[in-house]
Structure 1
């Protein structure tokens, strides 16, 4: 365990100078602003569903003596700041948006507050609003202590992954999406749709480096094509034929039929390109489907959805900083209950009937609502969620769990190095052999630093 903590802190120290400087000015915001007012500082990501939460909270969350202070950050920045703050006992933020990857070791290291005592003493009104039994077990389990079952974060929205495609562009190109496409099928369709002269991109996918950016779709491609990252003895298995095939597939899809500026694309750029009506296919999280059916989308009503050969499981949940004061913790928990409740789901649908602002992938009851269940992406999302096996990500038996990531602390550094090599390979800065060798070394080092190798 000591080796794992040391390995993680070495990574964090690389960015400590910049983040510490930012923290000094941010610390002032987390203190009481005046009188008895409690300021709850929330570190969140610049995702459309979360951005709507920020907006609605400002309009509708009225708790006497409590002020909400949101810091909306790009995903990579959020992950970096949150991990650094948590690992060093910082108090800049009272609530962090994190996911199952962080939960895997934040619970072990004591970086997240145990929410079970707060849940156990909720008022009857809060119990009814949160309705823990209504939350998908897979989402709740991913944020809980596997030994005690205690909940350490409340899931705000969850996701699997699927292909989203512009039915008109596929029809114009004379191609059809199979019910269960393979990656070879996807490449052929994307290549057929791609038309540079007409300004049509065949397919878009995250290309920006970062284990949670390009790493998310890429790792599922590795899984789909029979690859893995370790054998049962924790020997790295990157330099294999199956991994090579995945790297080649990722590159040829984006080079032959993808966006022009491949390695700058996060999901936000993918959303914009797809919504413009100038892109055939997008592979990403199911939580992005609603954005394509929003009123301002040029392809509303024109989108089809198809399952991924190997998908992912993720959620963005809220946890409490254990170093915050007791009054801040209670205020933070009360807000989290409001934001993660059935009442918030109904409010978001009332304000945006398209469902684009509604937290998806978390509650069974959401998919029973008349206003939501018949939306184009609702059933495909349920199907994608039901086909996942978090504990068995690969064709072969492996010693780790996780679908679009490996649930070990050291993956944060190894995954980032992998995606940096992936970006360099896609842009022809290095060869495939060089990219594989670099990544093989990174994963070998991760296994050694974590003490996993026998």
Structure 2
């Protein structure tokens, strides 16, 4: 009996907790997967199982799972859109046991605020981002142009025209076209803001047929049709990153998190030719606080997980300062996940290795996603209401159709307005 009891204790001691993590297929998360054996070595009682999905698919899967309390994931990769909505629904576990080494006060204030509710942190960021203009310095010099500190979209269009050389396979501009509320709509919605437009007015009425939206979408479609790559309506962040990194784009306006990839000689053929400046505004005196967005891919624990203690232990490891140092040791400071901690931007090793660091920090600190008298929702490139996920994706499909030429810009915006008005009326926002 005693021997059997000892065997039972040995079996229990050797038991492993398996964490299933649903995540997005971007480079930072793929890098984290590669470093996971370091965590497992330090925590032999925990095994990590990764489920890696394309961005739109990930959003569908985790939303369905958390809403039904399906329990498929112990940790979910979510963003600043989901946290305020899901925490209010009671779907997320507050992160209250990350340990003193985590240094929650070191998180950049805009990111910490975006991932908190009623003073509690509900997700921990593995990287944060705003938006910036990424461009080929050599092609701009050849075109005889100088990039302004605060470019307008009109300048971007002029530069794209002069940098285009289709015979050499170089397109003046590459922008997201793949439909999705977090794909093409992140860029287009943010561009519309820089023309003075919002998704909804103070009475929650959709604004897709406003003057600002018409100008923004017309300029976007026009510049992409003339100077963008073919088939752009299928290109999201990853596809556009691949185009720029292989020397096929003159200008790319997208997430500041792209900086580490386009300047990494192992991943980019143009790593020594890249410049960075602020995202362009539609008009000279940029309204709405400038063309900034705010996002953080983050790790959160659904209430349905039965392995919360192990999950929080992994999140603390994956998003603390020591993880940043681990990435720096393995792959260099320029590959450390950006946009999460004040201490990173006070670290000279990091700032000297990253020509995009200053613009990243400036853009993130300038982003104010709060409500305004003419904007009743939290968010910049999205509206943090449950209905936006469906509305944004439906509108994104109309924008992609306009970009591909199957419908006109006016038709796309009229369809977007009608769809959004129906959804907002049905949900009770419009009385």
CA shift for structure 1 position 60: 4.6
- The residue number in structure 2 matching 1:114 is 94
Separation (CA, whole Å) in 1 of partners of 2:270 and 2:410: 40
Separation (CA, whole Å) in 1 of partners of 2:50 and 2:33: 7
Please point out which of 375, 389, 406 is paired with 1:429: 406
Please point out which of 42, 46, 61 is paired with 1:66: 46
- The residue number in structure 1 matching 2:381 is 404
| 408-417 or 291-300: bigger deviation | 291-300
Runs of 4+ in 1 over 4 A off after TM superposition: none
Q: TM-score, normalised by structure 1?
A: 0.87
Please point out which of 331, 334, 343 is paired with 1:352: 331
Confirm or deny: 8 A CA contact 2:110 2:364 kept in the other structure. no
Separation (CA, whole Å) in 2 of partners of 1:364 and 1:70: 29
Separation (CA, whole Å) in 2 of partners of 1:363 and 1:165: 26
- The residue number in structure 1 matching 2:77 is 97
Separation (CA, whole Å) in 1 of partners of 2:149 and 2:114: 29
Unaligned runs of 5+ in 2: 1-12, 282-290
Separation (CA, whole Å) in 1 of partners of 2:40 and 2:348: 25
**Paired residue secondary structure (2:349):** coil
Q: TM-score, normalised by structure 2?
A: 0.91
Confirm or deny: 8 A CA contact 2:16 2:46 kept in the other structure. yes
CA-to-aligned-CA distance 1:279-338 (integer Å, 9 cap, x gap): 11111100111101112222122211110131210001111121121xx11001001000
CA-to-aligned-CA distance 1:374-403 (integer Å, 9 cap, x gap): 22111111111122111258xx72222211
CA shift for structure 1 position 78: 0.6
Distance 1:282 1:131, change over 3 A: same
Confirm or deny: 8 A CA contact 2:110 2:365 kept in the other structure. no
Q: Are 1:131 and 2:110 matched, yes or no?
A: no
- The residue number in structure 2 matching 1:122 is none
Q: Are 1:450 and 2:427 matched, yes or no?
A: yes
Q: How does 1:333-372 map to 2 (within 5 A)?
A: 333-353=312-332, 355-356=334-335, 358-372=336-350
Q: How does 1:250-269 map to 2 (within 5 A)?
A: 250-269=220-239
Separation (CA, whole Å) in 2 of partners of 1:432 and 1:334: 49
Confirm or deny: 8 A CA contact 1:158 1:316 kept in the other structure. yes
Separation (CA, whole Å) in 1 of partners of 2:91 and 2:71: 12
- The residue number in structure 1 matching 2:300 is 319
Please point out which of 58, 71, 83 is paired with 2:63: 83
Q: Are 1:384 and 2:363 matched, yes or no?
A: yes
- The residue number in structure 2 matching 1:48 is 27
Separation (CA, whole Å) in 2 of partners of 1:452 and 1:172: 52
**Paired residue secondary structure (1:371):** helix
Please point out which of 171, 178, 181 is paired with 2:151: 181
RMSD: 1.5
**Paired residue secondary structure (1:373):** helix
Separation (CA, whole Å) in 2 of partners of 1:438 and 1:60: 49
Confirm or deny: 8 A CA contact 2:40 2:48 kept in the other structure. no
**Paired residue secondary structure (1:178):** coil
Separation (CA, whole Å) in 1 of partners of 2:251 and 2:215: 21
Separation (CA, whole Å) in 1 of partners of 2:223 and 2:389: 25
CA shift for structure 1 position 431: 2.0
CA shift for structure 1 position 64: 2.0
Separation (CA, whole Å) in 1 of partners of 2:423 and 2:144: 46
CA shift for structure 1 position 446: 2.8
